[in-house]
Amino acid sequence: MASLEVLNLKNTSGRLPIVTKTIRMKKSVLFLLALLVAFNINAQLDRSTPPKPGPAPKVNIGQPASFMLKNGLRVFVVENNKVPVVSYSLSLDIDPILEGDKVGYTSLAGDLMTSGTASKTKAEIDEAIDFIGGTLRSNNKGLYASSLKKHSTELLDVMTDVLYNPSFPDEELAKAQKQLLTSLKSQKDDPKAIANNIKNVLRYGNNHPYGEVLSDETVNNIKVEDLKEYYNTYFRPNVAYLIIVGDISVKEAKKQAKKYFADWEAKEVPSHNYATPALFDQPRVVVANKDGSTQSTISLSYNIDLKPGHPDAIKARVMNQVLGGGSFSARLFQNLREDKGFTYGAYSSLQSDELIGSFNAGANVRTSVTDSAFTEIIYEMERMRTELVPEEDLQMIKNALTGSFSRSLEDPATVARFALNIQKYNLPEDYYVTYLERLNAVTPADVKAMAEKYITPDRALILAVGDVPNMKNALTQFARDGKVEMYDFYGNIVKALPLPAGLTAEKVIDRYIAALGGADALAAVTDYTMEGSMNVQGMPLSMKMYSRRPNHQCVETYMQGNLMSKQVFNGEAAKVVSPMGEQMIEGEMLESMKAESVLFPETKFAELGYQLELLGADNVDGQDVVKMKVTSPAGQDKTVYYSRESGLKVKEVSTSPQGSVATTYNEYITVKGVKFPNKLSQSVGPQSFDITYESIAVNEGIEDSIFAL
Amino acid sequence: MKNQFLLLAFMLFFAGIGLTKAQSNKISFEEYDLDNGLHVILHQDRSTPIVTVSVMYHVGSKNENPERTGFAHFFEHLMFEGTQNIPRGEYSNFVERAGGTLNANTSNDRTYYYEILPSNQLEMGLWLESERMLHAKVDSIGIQTQKKVVIEEKKQTVDSRPYGTLLQETMSRAFTEHPYRWTVIGDPDHIRAAKDEEFQHFYEEFYVPNNAALVIAGDIELEETKALVSKYFADIPKGNDNIYRPTMTEPPLGGEVRDTIFDNIQLPLILHAYRTPAMGTDDYYALDMLSTLLSGGQSSRLYKSLVDEQQKALEVSSFALPFQDPSVAIAIALPNMGVDCADLESAMDEQVNRVRKELISEREYQKLLNQFENTFVKSNIKLASRAENLATNYTYFGNTNLINTELDKYLAVTREDIRRVANKYFVNDNRVVLYYLPKSQQN
């Protein structure tokens, strides 16, 4: 009964606070002892208070062995015998590269290293790695391979084949370019991507590698020769580190390194220096348009001078965690989300970097509070500079950082990264071993000092991407000169061309009708059928669209000839048929279908009760356009862009429950005297698809059954 | 589609047991029982200043009353509500303030709770888990809240997710006696109807030291940790000895069971579920390897044949459910557009027949061993997985050391064994066949 565990407990803390009570009872010793034991537990263990943590643990980071091969390759070995796995991480320590009119080529060179060698196809490389259950990855700064220790020979055979003999096959480049262009396309409507491009261009400039922007043009300029040249120039042992982590002795690692990497030929690698871009001397306020957006993606950002491993680095990180790190208790989160309800989340980041570090604070907020959100962010930034952070808040931040630091150490890759950083940034050998001690030594005064040094809202790029007309004017208060500039996706300034004097919305519509073929030609159309095809996530789909006067419409979608879905509007009611079943359409959606089913509604905008508002000049993919807000009789509005050159509609943006929907119209062709867009491209959120029409038939009659509900 | 499919595969494994894996580098541990029956497993690994504190309760959905399914999972939620000393909603805050993370999961066989903390917060983890074991808040406020949450969870993860009912539909046909016939999430009606005292009785019966394994793994001092374990757990009273554990043996299926399910899906799905022996038996290991042969990776039998060469399937997958009692091995295929389900099904059968007839090639066998060993070994890299594997091996097999020896069982499987188990278990009379079809094809 008086178990070992209980005895242990007594040893742990020998205090027996209930002695008086037991003596007063004057029972037998045995009984007394039993009581002691029983009471002891309850009395000693005050369960109502959570236990206090012990002293911050010292990190046991394996000290890596290090040696250099004759060709200049520096090798680190982190022996870790927990599991019989070994990994080889090869990384290049080279300066960032200015890519000029071929932005994207260095990353493609990295990606394609594993896409074929002189003796192996991509499929053969994959098979060889699969057979041993291993991993092999590449990028423009190196290679990573991992497997069970006993397969390390086969692994290194493939890894070094990739390292020495990559073939950069034409067809693999074409495939990669296509994928890159697809992702670029979806980025054009992504406010975060727009913001990143603008930040990079404005803060670093076009002549700095951090300021370069990927475009269709730069991607298409990339040739196999560029990849080969990059590979030949920079994949050299004299600028590389090889980190071997795992169940391997230093001796074995040395032997392998020599066998596999000693023949790698050294060659001088060019270094690149870039002028440090100047900081802003006052806040610069910039907006970018994301039509139909109900939110603004806002950020306040600037460059900082903070190199990795700098004595400020840890303190500055703590400071940033207090302001806007990932935790629920961070000030930006508490203020903008919990208190004001402007946003789902608001965060800040402080990045050190060898060339230029950066600070960024931002959130996605409702359009109407764009300016208020900036005001609150600046308020919190200023507060960091002027007030001491309470000890209790600081402690919680330190605890969270301690925890995530410690957990990250489990991954041997972290240990490897530390070894590399110590070497690359010339840090003290015990930098990471003492990291937690230094973290825990940070004081409120340190935090304030860091804020004074690194929190400088008066030098920031204040950027909002969203519905410009509804937020631009409110942002003038943040610019000392009251100037708010507008930029586009590529970081080019958007100069609003003045509209011709006397231009009205009605004139734009008249011109559009004339461009389509004229009111008479449009009036002569009683029905039309368009058949097209598109590709959705790799699956080819085809579609048929039927339209008939006065307002009948049907859209059918097919997959490999099988009808997948159908939307019908018969002038009164509408329904959707899909694999999920049939559904009648009601409410707002029905209203919207009703409005859209009218043939050439522009010809009777006034009669139908549409409201038009000329918004001004803009630019769509390099084309000068007139921008107009069109509000349907049911009150749904969309923004429509008409080419100033042709008068034709080139784009429209509306808002749906899934987010804003942007549709562009291209390559108009004439059928029976009326122009139809032959290509249509639509994006909803991150997804986009292109429809190409194979046939457009006018006035050939459509069976009634098509519109039957 | 692929994403959806991955989601499905994930969902099937949501119990998260994973296989108990072993390797050549020995994992050392100590284990002992407290007087109250709590089994304690200590694993020291001082390479990282973190500690995992976890408790595996040997209660899963199979321990439930058939009229009250979903209880074990319900407790997974309830146990975060708080305790006598931890105010409602504060349980996870203690962990986060300490710089840690926490979570829990439930399977048909057991429930698992864990915290990963900085090692100087070991005592915090012990306090939290002991509070949970000693006097969790099983009161009507918490029960009412969690009833709503759990019912919503079922809607989200089962009812409105394509193929979400797959496990439920399979198991209810593969089993008539054994409690594997219902799923972990259970029946919302049972949860709704359950009275507070039923939950309290469930807690009293199953969430007791003599039905639990406490695993502490990581940067710990062994003696100090033992003392702390006593401090927090020794005074927790032992529970009833007669904990309900189902012992019924499921009779043979006695012929193929075939059915069609109409669901809110776009693409049909074909499922074969073959009844299998329990985890830990020799045949189980061979069957597990057979499943990998069929669908592990892009060069596997089903993938290469049905997806690459014949292009009849969009995706294929097969796996043996890692359940403590005899359960099933499942093979799934999604037909490509325009491919007849029956046609795809016979292509699946053809591959299985091939394994039944021909020995697999030496190279394929070797690749299989390599793949197995690799996943196996890597599954013990993370401290948290090691802790869970230790707990599972003890809870299921009473053999904690299986973490060091189980790999041998896989490596001992021969090519002949794979052919033998294919002939013994992967036969029509021993399987459930389900066609999932779009609702639009109904009637």
Residue-wise pLDDT tens digits, A505-527: 889 999 999 999 998 998 899 99
Q: Do domains B2-11+28-233 and B257-441 have the same CATH topology?
A: yes
Residue A132: closest C-alpha in chain B:
B370
Residue A266 has pLDDT above 80, yes or no: yes
Phi/psi-derived region of residue B268, left when phi > 0, alpha when psi is between -120 and 50, beta in every other case = beta
Does residue A46 surpass a pLDDT of 60?
A: yes
Q: Compute the average pLDDT of residues B288-303.
A: 86
Q: For residue A10, give both structure tokens.
A: 């007594």
In terms of average pLDDT, the best of A12-21, A419-428, A556-565 is A419-428
pLDDT at A421 over 50: yes
Assess A498–B contact: CB distance below 8 Å, yes or no: no
| Residues of chain A with C-beta less than 8 angstroms from the C-beta of B159 | none
pLDDT digits (tens, 9 = 90+) for B347-363: 999 999 999 999 999 98
Closest residue of B to A5, CA-based? Answer: B230
Q: Are strands A284-289 and A484-487 parallel, antiparallel or unpaired?
A: parallel
> DSSP readout, B272-299?
EEEE-PPTTSHHHHHHHHHHHHHHSSTT
Angle (CA) A153-A157-A160 rounded to 5° is 130
Question: At A120, is the pLDDT very low, low, confident or very high (cuts 50, 70, 90)?
Answer: very high
Of the partner residues A5, A60, A85, the one whose CB lies closest to the CB of residue B34: A5
pTM over 0.95: no
Superfamily grouping for domain B257-441: Metalloenzyme, LuxS/M16 peptidase-like (3.30.830.10)
What are the structure tokens assigned to A697, written together? 């038939």
* Domains identified in chain A and CATH numbers: 4-44 (no CATH), 65-261 (3.30.830.10), 284-487 (3.30.830.10), 505-707 (2.50.20.10)
Q: How many helices (H) and strands (E) does chain A have?
A: 22, 25
Q: What beta strand segments (E) does A513-636 contain? A: 527-536, 539-548, 552-559, 562-569, 574-578, 581-585, 611-620, 623-631
Amino acid A537: pLDDT: 59
**Mean pLDDT confidence for B402-409:** 92
List chain A residues with CB under 8 Å of B45. Answer: 82
- Find the mean pLDDT for residues A283-307: 92
Burial A621-656 (b: 16+ CB within 10 A, else e): eeeebbbbebebeeebbbbbbbbbeebbbbbbbbbe
> What is the pLDDT, as a whole number, of residue B19?
31
Does the pLDDT value for residue B270 go beyond 80? yes
Under 8 Å between Cβ of B78 and B260: no
Residues A131-135, mean pLDDT to the nearest whole number: 89
- Whether residue A550 is preceded by a cis peptide bond, meaning omega within 30 degrees of 0, is yes
Residues of chain A contacting B438 with CB distance shorter than 8 Å? 579
Task: Write out chain B residues lying below 8 Å of A409, CB-based.
Answer: 47-50
Q: What local confidence, expressed as pLDDT, does residue A512 receive?
A: 93
User: Residues B403-408: contacts with CB within 8 Å, 24+ apart?
Assistant: B403/B20, B403/B21, B403/B22, B403/B27, B403/B29, B404/B22, B404/B23, B404/B26, B404/B27, B405/B22, B406/B20, B406/B21, B406/B22, B407/B21, B407/B22, B407/B23, B407/B24, B407/B373, B407/B376, B407/B377, B408/B22
Choice between B131 and A60, residue whose per-residue pLDDT is larger: B131
Q: Residue A680: its pLDDT value, please?
A: 87
A226's CB contacts (< 8 A; 6+ apart) are A102, A105, A109
**The pair of three-digit structure tokens given for residue A195, joined into one six-digit string:** 């913001």
Spatial distance between the Cα atoms of A26 and A278, rounded to a whole number of angstroms:
85
pLDDT > 60? residue B432: yes
Quote the CA–CA distance of A386 and A449 in Å, as a whole number. Answer: 9
- Mean pLDDT for all residues in chain B: 88
Question: Over the range A533-559, which residues count as b (16 or more CB within 10 Å of their CB) and which as e?
Answer: ebeeeeeebbbbbbbbeebbbbbbbbb
Phi, psi (deg, nearest 5) at residue A217: -65, -50
Report the amino acid identity of residue B199: F
What average pLDDT does the segment B238-265 reach? 92
Taken as a whole, chain A contains a residue count of 709
**Mean pLDDT within A548-561:** 86
Provide the 3-class DSSP secondary structure of residue B324: coil
Q: For residue A385, what pLDDT is reported?
A: 97
| C-alpha–C-alpha distance, residues B62 and B323, integer Å | 11
Residue A284 confidence (pLDDT) above 60: yes
d(CA A318, CA B130): 33
- The pLDDT value given to residue A59: 67
pLDDT on residue B308: 74
B382/chain A closest Cα distance in angstroms: 7
**Is the separation of the CB atoms in A19 and A43 below 8 Å?**
no
Pairwise CA distance, residues A571 & A598, whole Å: 9
Three-state SS for A4-19 is HHHHHHHHHCCCCCCH
Q: How far is CA B90 from CA A50, A152, A661, B87, B95, in A?
A: 12, 48, 42, 6, 9
CA distance A125 to A161: 10
Phi, psi of A626 (to 5 degrees): -105, 135
Q: What is the CA radius of gyration of chain B?
A: 22
Instruction: Extract the tokens encoding B420.
Output: 């033998």
Lowest-pLDDT range of A8-22, A130-144, A438-452, B209-223? A8-22
- The predicted pLDDT at position B10 comes to 35
Percent of chain B with pLDDT over 70: 93
> Measured at the alpha carbon of residue B138, what is the angle toward residues B208 and B105, in degrees to the nearest 5?
65
Mean pLDDT value across chain A: 86
Nearest residue to A119 via CA among A110, A128, A111: A128
Residue corresponding to tokens 């050299």: A236
- The residue among A286 and B310 whose pLDDT is bigger is A286
Q: Which of B440, B441, B442 is the mutation pick for testing A, counting most A CBs within 10 A?
A: B440
ipTM (interface pTM): 0.77
Chain centre distance of CA A282: 28
Q: Is the dihedral of CA B45, B46, B47, B50 positive or negative?
A: positive
Mean pLDDT over residues A641-655, rounded?
A: 89
Tell me the fold of B2-11+28-233. Cytochrome Bc1 Complex; Chain A, domain 1 (3.30.830)
Which of 404-463 (A) contact B at CB < 8 A? Answer: 404, 406-407, 409-410, 412, 436
The two three-digit tokens of residue B149, written as one number: 């949450």
How much is the pLDDT for B443?
63
Q: Which of A372-376, B63-67, B309-313 has the lowest mean pLDDT?
A: B309-313
pLDDT of A637 above 90: no
Q: Minimal CA–CA distance to B342: which of B260, B244, B429?
A: B260
- Count how many Cα atoms sit within 13 Å of the Cα of residue A36 in the half-sphere of its side chain: 20
Q: In the structure encoding, which two tokens stand for residue A372, read together?
A: 């208020």
Our CA angle for A482, A483, A484, nearest 5°, is 120
CA-nearest of B347, B332, B326 to B283 is B326
Mean pLDDT, residues A652-662: 75
Distance CA B234, CA A6 (A): 7
Residues of B in contact with A407 (CB under 8 A): 48, 50, 101, 116
Q: Which ranges constitute the DSSP H helices of B305-382?
A: 341-357, 362-378
Distance from CA of A148 to the nearest CA of B (A): 6
Asked if A56 is an interface residue toward chain B (Cβ–Cβ < 8 A), one would say: yes
Q: How far is CA B139 from CA A225, B64, B68, B73, B82, in A?
A: 71, 20, 18, 17, 10
Q: Is the pLDDT of residue A28 over 70?
A: no
Question: Measuring CA to CA, how many Å separate B164 from each of A9, B291, B344, B434?
Answer: 50, 22, 22, 14
Give the confidence band of B22 by pLDDT, cuts at 50, 70, 90.
Answer: very low
Distance between CA atoms of residues A82 and B402, nearest Å: 17
* Interatomic CA distance for residues B294 and B301, integer angstroms: 5
| pLDDT at B245 exceeding the cut of 50 | yes
Q: Which among B39, B24, B31 has a CA at the least distance from the CA of B404?
A: B24
B354-to-A452, B305, B351, B423, B426 alpha-carbon distances in Å? 73, 12, 5, 10, 11
More confident residue, B5 or A470: A470
Measuring CA to CA, which residue among B408, B380, B53, B368 is closest to residue B228? B53
Q: Which residue has the higher pLDDT, A306 or B310?
A: A306
Q: Beta B257-263 vs B431-438: how paired, if at all?
A: parallel
| Distance, CA of A204 to CA of A197 (rounded, Å) | 11
The Cα–Cα gap between A637 and A614 comes to 13
Percent of chain B with pLDDT over 90: 69
In the prediction, which pLDDT does A6 show? Answer: 26
What's the pLDDT tens digit per position in B96-126? Answer: 788 888 889 999 999 999 999 989 999 999 9
At residue A640, what are phi and psi to the nearest 5 degrees? -120, 140
State the Cα–Cα distance between residues B361 and B363, nearest whole angstrom: 5
| Inter-chain CB proximity A54 and B266 less than 8 Å | no
Higher local confidence (pLDDT), A607 or A170: A170
Searching chain A, which residue's CA lies closest to the CA of residue B52?
A: A407
Q: CB atoms < 10 A from the CB of B357, how many?
A: 10
Tell whether the model's pLDDT for residue B422 goes beyond 70.
yes
pLDDT confidence of B400, banded at 50, 70, 90? Answer: very high
3-state secondary structure A517-548: CCHHHHHCCCEEEEEEEEEECCEEEEEEEEEE
Q: Which residues of B touch A580 (CB under 8 A)?
A: 264, 266, 439-440
Q: State how far the Cα of A298 lies from the Cα of A289, in Å rounded to an integer.
A: 12
Helix (H, G, I), strand (E, B) or coil at B408: helix
Cβ within 8 Å of B, A 114-153:
126-127, 130-134, 147-148, 151
Domain residue ranges in chain B: 2-11+28-233, 257-441
- The pLDDT score that the predictor gives to residue A5 is 27
Within 10 A of A562 (CB to CB), how many other CB atoms are there? 9
Q: Are A117 and A125 in contact (CB under 8 A)?
A: yes
Pairing of strands A85-92, A142-148: antiparallel
Which of A57, A400, A559 minimises the CB distance to B119?
A: A57
**Predicted confidence (pLDDT) per residue in B57-99, tens digit:** 999 999 999 999 999 999 998 998 899 999 987 888 788 788 8
Residue A689 clears pLDDT 90, i.e. is over it: no
Our CA-based measurement puts residue A92 at a distance from the nearest CA of chain B, in whole angstroms, of: 27
Please tell me the least confidently modeled range out of A178-182, A233-237, B118-122: A178-182
Average pLDDT (B143-162) is: 79
